[in-house]
Amino acid sequence: MNNKKSVLGRGLGSILRNPETDITTSSNNKESIVGNINTIKIDVISTNPFQPRSEFDQEKLEELSHSIKTLGIIQPITVRKLGNDKYQLISGERRLRASQMAGKTEIPSFIRIANDHEMLEMALVENIQRSNLNPIEIALSYQRLMEECKLTQEQCSERVGKKRSSVANFLRLLKLPEEIQLALQHSSISMGHARALINVKDLEIQMNIFNDVVANGFSVREVEQLVRTFADIGYKQTSKPKTPTIPNSLPFSSQQKIHNLSNYLEKDIDIKRNKKGKGKLIIPFNSDDDFISLIGKISENS
């Protein structure tokens, strides 16, 4: 079989399955199951390595889990078939997680043919178009879509059906300091606030205005006025520094690492943390076998 040139970066490429096990490279890729909705065992479905969501609301997952216990799965998840009775999730991770919480062992799934490049595009575009992604998740998705699929901003905008200026505005958010990105991620400030703060080049002035915005609840128009007036002459913070009220008070980069670990272990990780920084990292398991499997995965990377 001829070697294929990877279209992915080394990081993502290393976590994908061997292409020789992918149905798209197999002579049997016209199996009758492909393109149909089938019931698949949950334990043969691996999570989507391209999932851009960094958080899943635990309360909403529990609500969905209760609904699944009562009514079952209304909308099937979407997977691609790998070799040896294995599948990889394309979309529907909330439904998959909630089904596991509900004690389900099988889940209805729509099976598609997709190579790694198509898998990446489908997952990112499908998630970008969801209404409940926060601005930073959208921005990161645009960035990955462009970098890993080798797309320009214009091509990216065509893929997702958005104006190029909209894509550019989201990408600019990633130039903000982590504290501001985290506040935007948790709705402490709005997209309008963030877009105004981007125009402040001096980091100290930018952070002083940001801290007062959070402390005083300034409107977007008030922030725009502050930026026009003080961006070049300097701005001193008037509010007293406060203990962050964002859940767990973790830096954005740390939350991303927790998200990556959650994906790798295929578990919802819970963080308990007090004001002094002490806390616990809680990883749930369902049985002795599940516990042994978790320890094995952790030991592989220790």
- For residue 75, give the CATH number of its domain: 3.90.1530.30
Q: How many domains does the chain have?
A: 2
The angle, 0 to 180 degrees and rounded to 10, between the axes of the packed helices 135-148 and 164-172 is: 110
**What is the rounded CA–CA span in Å between residue 99 and residue 67?**
10
Asked if residue 140 is part of any domain, the answer here is no
Asked if residue 185 is part of any domain, the answer here is no
- Quickly list H helices, 149-238: 153-160, 164-172, 178-185, 191-198, 203-216, 220-230
Asked if residue 237 is part of any domain, the answer here is no
Asked if residue 283 is part of any domain, the answer here is yes
Range of the domain at 92: 10-114
Asked if residue 172 is part of any domain, the answer here is no
Asked if residue 222 is part of any domain, the answer here is no
Domain boundary among 51, 80, 114: 114
**pLDDT of the residue at 267:** 77
**What is the rounded CA–CA span in Å between residue 16 and residue 81?**
13
Q: What is the C-alpha radius of gyration for the chain, rounded to an integer number of angstroms?
A: 22
Token pair recorded at residue 23: 């149905």
**pLDDT of the residue at 256:** 56
Q: What pTM did the predictor assign?
A: 0.51
**What is the rounded CA–CA span in Å between residue 110 and residue 43?**
16
**What is the rounded CA–CA span in Å between residue 173 and residue 142?**
11
Domain boundary among 59, 88, 114: 114
Asked if residue 209 is part of any domain, the answer here is no
Catalytic residue among 20, 31, 93, 266: 93
266 is catalytic: no
For 106, counting Cβ atoms within 10 Å of its Cβ (0-12 exposed, 13-18 middle, 19+ buried), the class is middle
3-state DSSP of 244-283: CCCHHHCCHHHHHHHHHHHHHHCCCCEEEECCCCCEEEEC
Domain boundary among 114, 131, 153: 114
Asked if residue 87 is part of any domain, the answer here is yes
User: Each residue's pLDDT tens digit in the chain (302 positions)?
Assistant: 444 333 333 333 333 333 433 444 443 444 444 557 889 999 999 887 666 565 677 888 888 899 888 888 888 888 888 767 888 888 888 899 999 999 999 999 988 776 666 766 776 777 676 656 788 888 888 888 888 778 889 988 888 888 999 999 999 999 999 999 989 988 899 999 999 999 999 999 999 999 989 988 889 999 999 999 888 888 887 766 554 444 444 554 565 566 667 767 877 777 777 666 777 888 888 888 888 888 888 887 65
**Polymer length of the chain:** 302
Residue showing tokens 């402040």: 200
**What is the rounded CA–CA span in Å between residue 96 and residue 106?**
10
